[in-house]
Structure formats: structure tokens, C-alpha cells
Chain A
Amino acid sequence: MVETLYQLAVKSKNDSKAVVKILNAFKPKINKTLKQTRFQYRSDLDQELQLKLVTIIKKYDVEKLDGFWEFYDKQKNFYNKKD
């Protein structure tokens, strides 16, 4: 079974293989971004971007994400404030 992004992110905290899988999933996006820079700098930029991604993937707090009802409450507050 293909692992979902969520499962990978949970694992990534102490499993470097999961980080690599996430990186590979975002590789096309990185490649697209590389095209905006000059040819000489592309591999430098590639490396820097991947490095940055590793840090933010490891830092991303999966637990902090809202559940359905928390999201519901927040939205409710938001609409009430607007009215």
C-alpha cells in the first residue's frame, strides 16, 4: 500500500527514509522552481532547497493540526465575529 503523506510525516520525525519519500514527492515542484534561476546555480539551489525541506519536514508539528470539531469551532467563531 502506498503510504499517505500524513503517515509519512508522522514517521519522518525519526525515520529518515520517510523524509526521503516526502522529498521525492516534492521533487517535480523543486525542479520547476529551479528553472527560474541561472544554469550555474541550479544544483546549488537544488541542494539548498532540499536541505531546507528536510528541516521543515522534521520540524512540522503533526499533532498541532485541528480535528474536525476544532476546525468547526474555529470557523464558527470566525463567522460570528464577522456578523
Chain B
Amino acid sequence: MVKKNDCSKFHVFIQENQDFLNNPVIKDFLSNKSNYNLLRQSICNPTYHNKEELDRAFRGFYFNIRFTAYISSTIYYHAINLDKKMRLLNYRFPTTLDQPVKEESDISIKDMTIYHEDFELKSDNILDYITDSNIYKAVKRLTPNQRNILYLVYIKGLTDSETAQYLKKSQQTISKSRNKALKRIRKELNISPENCIF
């Protein structure tokens, strides 16, 4: 039986295969002590059993890398493809609301879904829209600027960037002060953010 330390074959192998040993996969595989010993074993005593052991360890290790990479990239690309597909379908088949409900009918889906309000509140002060007294108090405590932003975003339905354009400020400023205002309202009403819908 050859002693572990003076196995010359192994040293020769190491010397001759620097490129191979620097391969990231192999490097990582051999950084595990027991794998390293398996390699040494199978070079010094190249029995079928030793080779098989090394192969088995390597397969398990290599499989993990390949399989994880394969699954991850599949998830990534498949998601992109599906997203593209959905967007394409939405583009090709937009929801049409102004077609007649039935043939020879005057009413379209649009007419049925629109809610005709006979009374419309017209005010540019957000306080006029609030019916709940607690929320009214909370909103009243905000700065006029914050109230204005809330009005534009939630009553007028503008996006943050549209509001920013309108007020000649940056979008970051708007979303910051909007969130700050909401936070203050929440605090005022004693609602934790998790139980809150806005």
C-alpha cells in the first residue's frame, strides 16, 4: 500500500494539470477536503471503486451547479417571455367597451358601466371631499402643500410624475411628501401600516 504523502503520481498530476485545476468548477469541488482526498485516492490507487466514488461525489456537486443554473435561467427567461406575450395580447385584443351589448342594440358595455352621477362636487380643497370626521381632523393638520398633493393625486387621480410636472417639482419630492402625509394621517388615526389599504 502506498503511503498517502509520497504518492508521486498525484504530484505529477497536479503539476501537469494546472489549467484544469484552475477551472472554477473543479477548484470549488476540490476545496472540499473529502473531495480532494477522493481525487488523491483515485489517482494513487486507480481502482474501479475509487474512481466510482470520485465520480459519484463529482456528479452530485456538478449537478447542483448545472441544475440550479438551468432552473434559474429558465425562470428568468420564461417570465420575460410570458410578460411579453401578455403585453402583446393586451395590445392586439384591447378591451372594447363601446361595442353594442347585443347585435342591433343601442346600448354598449360602456353605457352600462358608467355611473351617472347627478351631483358632482367641485372643489379644489381636499377637506371638502372627506366625510369621516377623524380623517378630516387628521388631514386638517397637514401642511397646505401636503393637502394639495393629496388632492391632486387622490381626487384628480394624477400620477406622482404628473403632479410633479403640474407643481413644477421633482417626482421624488412629490412621492416623498405624499408618503409623509399618509404616514401622518395613519399615525393620527392610530393605524399600523400593515392594516392599511393606502
A binds B: yes
How far apart sit A26 and B75, CA to CA, in the bound complex (Å)?
Answer: 9
Min CB gap A77→B, angstroms? 11
- Structural contact, A56 and B74, CB atoms closer than 8 A: yes
From B57-65, B141-149, B158-166, B168-176, give the one contacting chain A: B57-65
| Alpha-carbon distance between A30 and B51 when the two chains are bound, in angstroms | 38
| Distance A35 CA – B51 CA, assembled complex (angstroms) | 46
Query: Is B156 an interface position by the 8 A CB rule?
Result: no
A2 close to chain B: CB less than 8 A: no
Q: Chain B, 64-102, contact with A by CB distance < 8 Å: what is the 0/1 string? A: 101110111011101100110010000000000000000
Q: Which secondary structure characterizes the binding site on chain A?
A: helix
A9 with B67: CB separation less than 8 A:
yes
CA distance A65 to B57 in the complex (A): 12
Q: Does B20 contact A (CB under 8 A)?
A: yes
- Known A37-B83, A75-B23; judge A52-B78 contact (CB<8 A): yes
Distance A52 CA – B74 CA, assembled complex (angstroms): 8
Contact partner of A6 (CB less than 8 A), chosen from B64, B75, B79, B83, is B64
Q: Is the CB of A45 within 8 A of B66?
A: no
- Using Cβ atoms and an 8 Å threshold, which residues of chain A touch B64? 4-6
Which residues of A lie under 8 Å from residue B58 when comparing CB positions? 67-68, 71
Say yes or no for B19: interface residue by CB 8 A criterion. Answer: yes
Q: How far is the CA of A48 from the CA of B72 in the complex (A)?
A: 15
Chain B residues lying within 8 Å of A79, measured Cβ to Cβ, are: 19-20
Q: Are B79 and A33 in contact, with the CB atoms below 8 A?
A: yes
- A14: interface (CB < 8 Å): no
Interface residues on A, range: 20 to 34
**Known contacts being A49-B75, A53-B71, is A69 close to B51, with CB within 8 Å?**
yes
Tell me the bound Cα distance from A67 to B72 in angstroms.
23
Contacts of A26 in B (CB 8 A): 71-72, 75
Considering only residues 30-54 of chain A, those with a C-beta below 8 Å from chain B are: 30, 33-34, 36-37, 41, 44-45, 48-49, 52-53
Q: How far is the CB of A56 from chain B (nearest CB, A)?
A: 6
Taking beta carbons and an 8 Å cutoff, which residues of B are in contact with A? 19-20, 23, 25-26, 39, 51, 54-55, 57-60, 62-64, 66-68, 70-72, 74-76, 78-79, 82-83, 86
- 24 A-B pairs with CB atoms under 8 Å apart are A4-B60, A5-B63, A5-B64, A9-B63, A26-B71, A26-B72, A26-B75, A33-B76, A33-B79, A36-B83, A45-B79, A45-B82, A48-B82, A52-B78, A56-B71, A60-B70, A62-B63, A65-B59, A67-B55, A67-B59, A68-B55, A69-B55, A75-B26, A79-B20
